[in-house]
Chain A
Amino acid sequence: MNRFGTSCFLLAASVCAASAQTAKDAPVLIQNATILTITNGTVKGSILLQNGKIAAVGEKVLAPPGAKVIDGAGKFVMPGIIDCHSHIMAEAINEGTVSVSSMVGIDDVLNPEDIAIYRALAGGVTTANILHGSANSIGGKTVVTKMRWGKDAEEMKFEGAMPGIKFALGENPKRAGASVGFGAAPANLRYPATRMGVEDVIREAFNDAKAYKVTLDEYKAKLAKGENAIPPRRDLKLEPLVEVLEGKRYVHAHCYRQDEILMLLHVADDYGFKVRTLQHVLEGYKVAKEIAAHGAGASTFADWWAYKMEAQDAIPYNAAIMVRKGVLTSLNSDDAELMRHLDKEAAKTVKYGGLSETEALSLITINPAKQLSIDKRVGSLEVGKDADVLLYDGHPLSNFSKVEKVWIDGHEYFDRDQDQEGRSKKQIEKKALIEKAAPAPGGRGGQASVTGGPNQ
């Protein structure tokens, strides 16, 4: 998706139903439900959430003292949805002034009050990889978050998740600075302007990173020998790239066409790093074997394309073909609206490509968890994993089903009934604020009474 321009979300009436955070949440037992574990089949029975973790899944689970028991008859339980590509809760998307902006990081600008977080929760998303935009060949640092609505920015971050960095290929990074719209005068004419240039920028950046690493090592060697030496400055642009070379930071690369995909895989091989995920990767079906051989994951759309030239050659079978060719595949949103119905996006892969229901749901749960290397914590309903759990009023792949409740770390962050109640309360609060701020009749609000010089 074209993310070159900074998206501007107009926050409408903020609707929040985030309950007051209790120090410790009571255990929750959901009974008589259809439990889609994703990794261990379907269980008709109960699931227990306790101390922030999934404590039990089985046909019969006893309620511990003080547990909140929910009758799940006719309802479905599945793990929280994981979106491998989102830009919500970021107060900046692109540092578009330079083609290598690895010094910037989304984690510096998280806005935990973005209403899109709450709306994503309502659509069942519990974890999202928040990425820098695609204006740069090498973009900014990414951050994995949980949708802990009501918490602050620091608490949104997924503890211990691997740090990442955004790369981008093709039209967006080679757009040489046209600031607004077609034919606009370039505000900041910038190299590169071609796909060849993008490759060159990436190679040069890694050359610099390697040289930087050598400088650091030389300094350490001099120190070890007791020589008088001046320490090199820390370079925040090259540090993340050194981390990539050392396998300590994941590359999430925005791409569309098969030629640019192969280019990046070659560059990665040349420099000895791995591309962790190819993002969008709409022509991935053409080079699925090569992607699988490299070990890269693919995170794509179900049926979103044709919004620009490089997105013309997409097919709805893309995800299914890549799965069948052995590519670790997920579906992502890249968009605050699409983010709210990733379950329905997954359903499309059943129709196009014939994935099983479990395979389809894997595309938005365990597969993105693996891509982000957080699968030990989330992505399926297994004892010991984080209690990031969704309660649906029907099968998640059905168009007619809705998310009723969402838990993250065993804490309830969304409840559809509470949401409805909260809306009217917020409306009343808002009306009161508007009336209070309204100017007094015949004057300029509060100022009017004091003009006219009490000093006289």
Chain B
Amino acid sequence: MKQKFLRILLVPLALAGAGGVALRAQSRGAFVLRDAKIVRVSGPVIEHGTVVVRDGLIEAVGDNITPPADAWVIDCKGLTVYPGMIDSLSNWGLTNTPPAAAAAAGGRGGRGAATVAAPLVVSTPSNTIVSATPARGPEDRPSNAAYLKAADQIYPNDRAVETARNGGFTTAVTFPTGNIFSGQGSVIDLAGERAGDMVIADSVGQYIAFPGGGRGGGGRGYPGSLMGVIAYIRQIYLDSENYKLAKSIYEKHPEGLPRPAYDRTLEGVLASPRVLLPATRDVEIRRMLAFAKEMKFNAVIYGGHEAWRSTDVLKQAGVPVLLSLKYPERAADSDPTVDESVRVLELRDKAPTAAGALAKAGVKFAFYSDGVGTPRDLMRAVKKAVDAGLEPNAALRALTLTPAEIYGVANRLGSIDKGKIANLVVADGDLFADRTRVKYVFVDGGKYEPILEEPAVRPGGRGGRGQGGPAR
């Protein structure tokens, strides 16, 4: 009954297009989540407990807490509180996609409002460096935007932010893309009026990408091959070490010394506390681990679909893995007569087992969205990993505390503990069950309420571009 009432209430609101589907919470006062099942992740589950949120932080959590008198009490009987989920490698917040209301007519039928259809208009920041003349070597710094920082490029109104938040994601480690040295990732909360409010950590890692799947730099000069890309990265890191040393020598005694030239790409590299390296196949994982060891990188591997074959070396190296939730699939338009190797078939078949294998081996790993747009599809992918042998607890950890640990923000995020940032998800059941609905999401202590049902589908469907127009 109550839900029905909410539907009636919320649908017109959404159609009125008040800038977004979710309702912005009241001011950042105090909330008490009472009588909830609390999955803290950092400790045992509290079957009936209370979480107190105040001014953006978790003030208290436990089964014997007296609610403060000034708090808004939310009865969570039958509900479960989780830490907000983290997308460990994302571009959420960096795409300038209009808010959902602008595309309200874009329903795809029964997906639920929290996971509305693909964005109608997407403009990604154009970071890709295209040089006027082909690069002749590493000295030309081709495809190098190491200095870019995600925190400087955030669109708070990016619709991806809202979509993800409605599905229980409160945080993303979001990265600029488009270059071999794509730039520095930032940990951001998925809510905020201004970009600056969203940033939790501004520079947590340099995102390295291999253009053309490692086949080269797109035909415009050096590097044009996988080995060229690797050699280029090696030279840049050697240069950055030399640059650091040269600057310190020069700053101490500049007299009579040649002045080291300022280099923004090397500054960007030096500002990045870790290096994210792409590796999907076992061969690539071993290759990147060897490379990381040679370069003494504080490395993180991303991709990892075949990591079930590499658990021994990953464990030995102590390098964490970001696991893509976009499992490899045979392209829909691929030639059906092409004879695929057992290795390729096996890679597709076993990709969902990677998480379970890493957990079993004791390798630190976190999940990431890899372009899978909707939280519902992401949760389905996680569910696949669970069905393939991953403990549900480990799955949750890979979406909460582990990514926080990997990026060095576990003192602020990732679990329900006193003093941490109040990023919470309140759901009416197990987070990974298909029928579970997210009731409330807290980001930085602000309360958000995803719409439970999507508005009735209007004629026109995805094609109805003009209909919604910009947010009215």
Binding site for B on A (CB under 8 A): 6, 10-14, 91-98, 101, 103-106, 108-113, 115, 132, 140, 152-154, 179, 187-188, 228-234, 236-237, 426, 429-430, 433-434, 436-437, 450-456
* Complex interface bits, B443-472 against A, C-beta within 8 A gives 1, otherwise 0: 000000000010000000000000000000
Q: Is B18 engaged at the interface, CB distance under 8 Å to the other chain?
A: no
Interface residues in B123-140 by Cβ distance below 8 A to A read: 134-138
Q: Which of B138, B215, B224, B380 is A103 in contact with, Cβ under 8 Å?
A: B138
Residues on A with C-beta less than 8 A from B109 are 452-453
Choice from A14, A92, A97 contacting B342 with Cβ under 8 Å: A14
Contacting pair A95 B253 (CB below 8 A): no
A179–B222 alpha-carbon span in the complex (Å): 15
Q: Is there an interface contact between B110 and A104, defined as CB atoms closer than 8 Å? A: no
Residues of B within 8 A of A (CB): 109-112, 114, 134-138, 214-217, 219-228, 230-232, 234-235, 238-239, 242, 245-246, 249-250, 253, 256-258, 260, 282-283, 286-287, 290-291, 330, 339, 341-346, 348-349, 376, 380, 434-435, 437, 453
Q: Is there an interface contact between A233 and B239, defined as CB atoms closer than 8 Å?
A: yes
A231 contact set on B, CB distance < 8 A: 242, 245-246
Which listed residue (B134, B249, B330, B343) contacts A228, Cβ 8 A?
A: B249
CB of B94 to closest CB in A, whole Å: 28
User: What are some 13 contacts across the A-B interface (CB < 8 A)?
Assistant: A91-B283, A95-B223, A95-B231, A97-B134, A97-B216, A111-B283, A113-B283, A188-B134, A236-B234, A452-B109, A453-B110, A454-B434, A455-B110
Report which of B112, B222, B235, B286 forms a contact with A97, defined as CB distance below 8 A. Answer: B222
Nearest CB on B from A262, distance (A): 30
What 18 new A-B contacts, CB under 8 Å, besides A95-B225, A187-B219?
A11-B341, A92-B215, A95-B228, A97-B217, A104-B223, A106-B227, A108-B226, A108-B231, A111-B283, A153-B286, A153-B287, A154-B290, A429-B342, A437-B349, A451-B110, A453-B109, A454-B435, A455-B453
Structural contact, B345 and A95, CB atoms closer than 8 A: no
Collect the chain A residues with CB atoms within 8 Å of residue B453's CB: 455-456
Q: Check A112 against B238 for contact (C-beta < 8 Å).
A: no
Contacts of B239 in A (CB 8 A): 233
Q: A232–B246 Cα gap in the complex (Å)? A: 9
A50 to chain B, nearest CB (A): 29
User: Which of the listed residues A113, A451, A453 has the most CB atoms from chain B within 10 Å of its own CB?
Assistant: A453
A93 to B112, CA, bound (A): 49
A433 CB contact (under 8 Å) in B258, B283, B345 = B345
Distance (Å) between the CB of B155 and the closest chain A CB? 28
Contact A455 B437 (CB under 8 A): yes
> Within the complex, what minimum Cβ distance (angstroms) separates B353 from chain A?
13
> How many Å lie between the Cα of A434 and that of B341 in the bound state?
10
A230 and B339 contacting across the interface, CB-CB below 8 Å: no
Chain A residue at minimal CB-CB distance from B219: A187
Contact of A450 among B137, B215, B341, B434 (CB under 8 A): B434
Contact of B227 among A105, A233, A455 (CB under 8 A): A105
Those 3 A-B pairs whose CB atoms lie nearest each other, nearest first: A453-B110, A455-B112, A97-B224
Chain A residues with CB under 8 Å of B253's CB are: 228
In contact, A94 and B225 (Cβ under 8 angstroms): yes
A170–B242 alpha-carbon span in the complex (Å):
38
Verify A104–B341 contact, CB threshold 8 A: no
Which of B220, B224, B283 has the largest number of chain A CB atoms within 10 A?
A: B224
Q: Is the CB of A437 within 8 A of B330?
A: yes
Of the candidates B226, B246, B256, B257, the one having the most CB atoms from chain A within 10 angstroms of its own CB is B226
Contact of B242 among A97, A106, A233 (CB under 8 A): A233
A101 touches B242 (CB 8 A): no
B228 touches A230 (CB 8 A): no
Q: Are A236 and B112 in contact (CB under 8 A)?
A: no
- Assess whether A108 is in contact with B230, with CB atoms less than 8 Å apart: yes
B258 touches A237 (CB 8 A): no
With A96-B224, A113-B283 known as contacts, the answer to whether A91 contacts B110 (CB < 8 A) is no
Across the interface, which residues of A come within 8 angstroms of B291, CB to CB? Answer: 108
Tell me, in angstroms, the Cα distance from A433 to B231 when the chains sit together: 37
Contact between A92 and B242, CB atoms less than 8 A apart: no
Measured in the bound complex, the distance between the Cα atoms of B209 and A118 in whole Å is: 31
Are A109 and B226 neighbours in the complex by a CB distance under 8 Å?
yes
Q: Taking the nearest CB of chain A, how far is it from the CB of B305, in angstroms?
A: 15
Q: What residues of chain A lie closer than 8 Å to B228, measured between beta carbons?
A: 92, 95, 97, 101, 103-104
Q: Determine whether the beta carbon of B257 is less than 8 Å from that of A228.
A: yes
Q: How far is the CA of A433 from the CA of B334 in the complex (A)?
A: 17
What residues of A have a CB within 8 angstroms of the CB of B238 in the complex?
233-234, 236
* Most interface-central of A111, A426, A436, A454 (chain B CB within 10 A): A454
Chain B residues contacting A154 (CB-CB under 8 Å) are 286, 290
C-alpha gap A375/B362 in the complex (Å): 44
Docked pose: A451 CA to B217 CA in angstroms: 39
* Cβ 8 A contact of B225, one of A96, A229, A230: A96
Q: Which residue of B lies closest to A109 (CB)?
A: B227
**Shortest CB distance B118–A (Å):** 14
Minimum Cβ distance to chain B for residue A314 (Å)? 30
A6 — which chain B residues lie within 8 A by C-beta? Answer: 215, 225
Q: List, in ascending order, chain A residues with CB within 8 A of B232's CB.
A: 103
Q: Is the CB of A230 within 8 A of B260?
A: yes
Nearest residue, chain B, Cβ from A233: B242
Contacts of B380 in A (CB 8 A): 450
Q: Is B227's CB under 8 angstroms from A95's CB?
A: yes
| Residues of B close to A452: CB separation below 8 A | 109-110
- Pair B242/A91 contact, Cβ less than 8 Å: no
Cα-based distance from A276 to B434 in the complex (angstroms): 66
A115 to B283, CA, bound (A): 14
Contact yes or no, B222 A98, CB < 8 A = yes
Q: Is A236 a contact of B217 with CB atoms below 8 Å? A: no
On chain B, the residues within 8 Å of A93 by CB distance are 225
A141 to B136, CA, bound (A): 18
Q: Which residue of A lies closest to B114 (CB)?
A: A455
Closest residue of chain A to B220, judged by CB? A188
Nearest-neighbor residue (CB-CB) of B246 within chain A: A230
Asked if B235 and A13 make an inter-chain contact with CB atoms under 8 angstroms apart, the answer reads no
The chain B residue with its CB closest to the CB of A430 is B342
Q: What CA separation (Å) do A10 and B380 show in the bound complex?
A: 33
Which residues of chain A have C-beta atoms less than 8 A from B257's C-beta? 228-230
Q: Verify A104–B111 contact, CB threshold 8 A.
A: no
State how many angstroms separate the Cβ of A19 from the closest Cβ of chain B. 17
Q: Which residues of A contact B434 (CB under 8 A)?
A: 450, 454
User: How many Å from the CB of A421 to the closest CB on chain B?
Assistant: 16
CB A175 to nearest CB in B, in angstroms, measures 14
B220 cross-chain contacts in A, Cβ below 8 A = 188
Residue of B nearest to A95 (CB): B228
Q: Considering the complex, give the chain A residue whose CB is closest to the CB of B243.
A: A233
Instruction: Indicate whether A14 sits within 8 Å of B110 (C-beta atoms), given known contacts A98-B222, A108-B291.
Output: no
Q: Contact between A109 and B230 (Cβ–Cβ < 8 Å)? A: yes
Contact B342 A426 (CB under 8 A): yes
Assembled-state Cα–Cα distance A455/B3 (Å): 13
> Measured between alpha carbons, how far is A425 from B401 in the docked complex, in Å?
43
Say which residue of B246, B341, B435 sits within 8 Å of A13 (CB atoms): B341
Contact A152 to B217, CB < 8 A, known contacts A106-B227, A236-B238, A452-B110: no
Residue of B nearest to A112 (CB): B283
